[in-house]
A and B are shown apart, each in its own frame.
Chain A
Amino acid sequence: MKTSNSEVSAQANARGARAKAARPAEANNVFTIDGREIPFEPGQTVMQAALTAGVFVPHLCYHPEFRPHGSCKLCTMKVNGRPTTSCTLPAAPGMEVENNTTEINDKRRLLIQMLLVEGNHFCPSCEKSGNCKLQALGYALGVMSPHFTLFYPVRPVDASHPEMLLDFNRCILCELCIRASAEVDKKNVFALSGRGLKKHLIVNAESGRLADTDFAPTDKAAEVCPVGVILRKRRGFAVPIGKRTYDLKPINEQADRFKPLTPLPKEEF
């Protein structure tokens, strides 16, 4: 069988959900996460509703200013017993959602560990340390080690640009820079090439060098990277240890910072 059964039932579920949403009797827009009632606006995803209500949801590829992406899978929850990507799932009345459970967090830990072994993450020498979401989620979920065998991939740094640096060793392929550059900056500086484990970030230049693109430090794409890839030169370690974003409070106590902004840009075809 090429597609898992779950794909079939997902189609069925989606139809069921639409049918339900249309019925006025169930128009009160509330669902539950771990037993807590979460109100939502029609059109919101489960994740957006959760964050709006102050419930933290682990995430890496989600960003309040962008359309959901659904690739990191950190936000996976169980909805009516079925594992689902919460950042892309439209909220529906009456859903019973599990988020902060041992079972789900165990999987999330393994996902973090997969990302840690896939790249080269040496936090002590990383300018993003303390402000890095991958790291912060590792702390919040209690990830003590990479667990798996490290891949130690060889990924050369691009230091060609006078003001900016790309350290691909830490790229988690969340595509936020790609989306920011395409949708906000309208420059398309970044894209992906390769497939599977060989998937990697590329820049929009025949030379393959950032300096030969029209990238600017003022671009939106320069500020969205959740980890330490897109960095300003000569600006590292500006904030002292103890004062950095996730030194102050663990990420799971900062749900407010990730509240969605509306309206989001529309999908383009």
Chain B
Amino acid sequence: MTAPIRKLRVATTSLAGCFGCHMSFLDIDERILKLVELVEFDRSPITDIKQCGPCDLGLIEGGVCNAENVHVLREFRKQCKILVALGACAVNGGLPAQRNRLDLRDILEEVYVTEDGLARGSKIPNDPELPLLLDKVRPIHEVVRIDYFLPGCPPPADAIWKFLTDLIAGRTPVLGHGLLHYD
């Protein structure tokens, strides 16, 4: 039997993340040449496609902190056969989730109203264009079903490479010692 010839279609996005996982992804360096032989990119910061089409694989960086994140995540879930939580923030909320112990009211007031250096009469913005914040930052598996988790802050390029090549080869991805880490 031969391996599938069709290239895997991959979409990526960053929700409440720092793009660190995407940077790490690009860190696979020259292997990216090998990768583009195997995959083609749909919506992703590296393609500029704005709406995700049907894909084989979706990689999500970052947790869910606002309504917009929820919409994007749902779009990805709808379009991607396999959805992967990429990095610590997608896996457990990560650094942004450290705001969870604070009341959203206090956060918004501090940022928009009471902090030093704000213009007089500053208010919490109510522009309908701005996505509303959720009361807590959540990992993505609490909002949609997730098929694989790839922790790390960021996951090392080698881990991403191992994960993708396993997946492409039809193996259940396994990260050995040194590749699986939470920090």
Contacts and interface: CB of A to CB of B under 8 A. Distances in A.
Q: Check whether chain A touches chain B (CB < 8 angstroms).
A: yes
Interface of A: 116, 120-126, 129-130, 135, 138-139, 142, 144-147, 149-150, 152, 154-155, 241, 247, 249-250
Contact of B88 (A120, A124, A154): A124
Contacts of A249: 177
Nearest to B91: A145
Contact of A150 (B142, B149, B182): B142
- Most chain B beta-carbon neighbours within 10 Å: one of A122, A126, A154, A249: A122
B181 interface: yes
Contacts of B183: 123-124, 126, 129-130, 135, 241
A135 B94 CA distance: 15
A149 B139 CA distance: 9
16 contacts: A120-B100, A120-B101, A122-B93, A122-B94, A123-B181, A123-B182, A124-B94, A124-B182, A130-B183, A135-B183, A142-B175, A144-B91, A144-B151, A146-B92, A149-B142, A150-B93
A interface majority secondary structure: loop
A121 B24 CA distance: 22
Interface string B165-178: 00000000011011
Count class of interface residues, chain B: 20 to 34
A78 B128 CA distance: 58
Given A126-B183, A149-B142, A144 B149 contact: yes
Nearest to B90: A145
Given A135-B182, A152-B100, A142 B153 contact: no
B177 A250 contact: yes
B98 interface: yes
Given A144-B148, A144-B150, A146-B92, A247 B142 contact: no
Contacts of B150: 144
B153 A124 contact: yes
B144 interface: no
A116 B88 contact: no
Contacts of A247: 178
